[in-house]
Amino acid sequence: MNVRGNAADRIGEYARRGLLAFVRGLIQAVLAMGVNLPLMILTILSFAFIPLGIGLVMVPIVLTTVRGVANQQRLWASEWSEVRIPVPYRARPENGDRFFPRLRWLLTDPATWRDLLWLVINVPLGFVLGVLAGSAVLYGLEGVLVAPWLAQITDYGWGPFWPLGDYGVIGIAGSIVLGAGLACVGAPLGMAILKGHALFSQSLLAPTRTVLAERVEHLAETRSDTVDVSAAELRRIERDLHDGAQARLVALSMNIGLAEEMMKHDPETARTLMAEARASSGKALVELRDLVRGIHPPVLAERGLDGAVQALALSLPLPIDVRTDVRGRADAPVESAAYFAVAEILANVVKHSGAARAWIQMEHTGDRLVTIVGDDGTGGADPRNGSGLRGIERRLAAFDGTMAVTSPLGGPTVVTMELPCALSSPKTLPSSGTG
């Protein structure tokens, strides 16, 4: 019974694979003829119409559609044949929603042209491979079940696919044996043909070395930005310490020295000097505290992003609704980047937006930290206007993070930031129970 069950399972599995190969092959064939071919013609037409002007409008639309089709093929290749084809396109530029920058972005990307090459070759190749993959099992089954027998009943005869009718019994036996053989290997054969098609697609649709080169360029750029920023930051810290706390400590030790001298013959002046010394040390402490807050806020070290953002929200003079779902701690540099980004945005909210309320939503899902900061102010914030937003963008870019701002005039302003990062498990503090 067990053996029979297994056999039935295996046949079922085989039939499933055969059916899958049939459906997928059919989809590929239909895509090649029904989508690729018209799209190819449209592409040629749109380029031909560029001198007429209408082509300029058509090109971006057609190319975007081609990208959609290519992306669908990438998806199928990985889902059906486990052939991974990463998306190779360049990042959309900042002004990518305007017409000419968008056109430039599409036309200068080598991946666009490789997409088009794929589109053209895939018309015949996708059709033929699709039909082959889809019909392998079906063809075998026809050889066994239909061709030898139908001739007796209908005018269809042996049909065009099994031209063995003239060979009598040998023809019948031949078609059954060959058909059965084909039906048996049809499913894996169909899958193999689909995989072959996926590999062909990969050869044209996957990123080439230029993408790596672009990645290197991006990294070099963000690194030099980061180095510049941290150098400027160090310079600022040095100046703050030099003119601030350090100078105050000098004054302090001077006052104390003087007071020591005065102690015997003028205790009253000594007392005044000591009071001055104390005030001076207090000011030095305040300056150091502000400085430390600017370098790495203590509350961030103590409570992580979650607590630090809540503390930040509480310290500002408007009600801020905070929702966080960050279980665990990110790496310190990432935490710091995310924290200062939020702090900068909230500072903008307080200074410029005229908002009565603001809200923060921070969530770690998958491998990204998504932070959304919104306010009900007057809007009109623009990262291109050299405000602090540009600095945040640069700070985030060092971690491959991104920022998007929507801020129509009249508000509301919503800033969305994404930072790829992993979380370590939450730190468990030793229990402080009785002992």
Which range touches another protein (CB under 8 A), out of 77-85, 180-188, 277-285, 345-353? 277-285
The verdict on 168 binding another protein (CB under 8 A) reads: no
Number of H helices and number of E strands within the chain? 13, 5
**Residue 434 in the binding site for another protein (CB under 8 A):** yes
Would you give the binding string for another protein spanning residues 219-258, x where CB under 8 A is met?
----------------------------------------
Smallest separation (angstroms) from another protein to the CB of 307: 6
CB of 59 to another protein, least distance (A): 54
Q: What SS3 class is residue 371?
A: strand
Figure out which of the listed residues 5, 317, 386, 410 binds another protein, where binding follows CB under 8 A: 317
Q: Could you give the CA distance from residue 334 to residue 346 in angstroms, rounded to a whole number?
A: 18
Size of the residue set binding another protein (CB under 8 A): 28
Distance CA(51)–CA(61), nearest Å, equals 17
Site string (278-307) toward another protein, x via CB under 8 A: x--xx--xx--x--xx---xxx-xxx---x
426: helix, strand or coil? coil
Q: Point out which span in 50-58, 185-193, 311-319, 410-418 binds another protein (CB under 8 A).
A: 311-319
Please name which of 397, 27, 36 lies closest in space to residue 220, comparing C-alpha atoms.
397
Torsion sign, CA atoms 49, 51, 57, 63: positive
**Separation CA 26–CA 88 (nearest Å):** 27
Least separation in angstroms between residue 435's CB and another protein is: 4
427 counts as binding another protein under rule CB under 8 A: yes
CA dist 49 and 325 (Å) reads 52
How are beta strands 368-375 and 320-325 bridged, if at all?
unpaired
Q: Which residue, 138 or 312, has its beta carbon nearer to another protein? A: 312
Q: Is 75 in the site for another protein (CB under 8 A)?
A: no
Place of tokens 């623009």: 382
Distance CA(179)–CA(262), nearest Å, equals 115
Q: Which helix H or strand E contains 25, and what residues bound it?
A: helix 2-30
Decide: is 430 part of the binding site for another protein (CB under 8 A).
yes
426 binds another protein (CB under 8 A): no
Report the nearest approach of another protein to the CB of residue 316 (Å): 8
Q: Which positions ≥6 away from 151 have C-beta within 8 Å?
A: 157, 158, 165
Contacting residue, 184, 316, 370, 423, with another protein by CB under 8 A: 316
Minimum CB–partner distance for residue 336 and another protein (Å): 15
Q: Is residue 425 close enough to count as binding another protein by CB under 8 A? A: no
Element (H, E) at 373: strand 368-375
CB of 292 to another protein, least distance (A): 7
CB 21 within 8 A of CB 194: yes
Report how far residue 304's alpha carbon sits from residue 324's, in angstroms, rounded to the nearest whole number.
12
Q: Give contact residues for another protein (rule: CB under 8 A).
A: 278, 281-282, 285-286, 289, 292-293, 297-299, 301-303, 307, 310-311, 314-317, 427, 429-430, 432-435
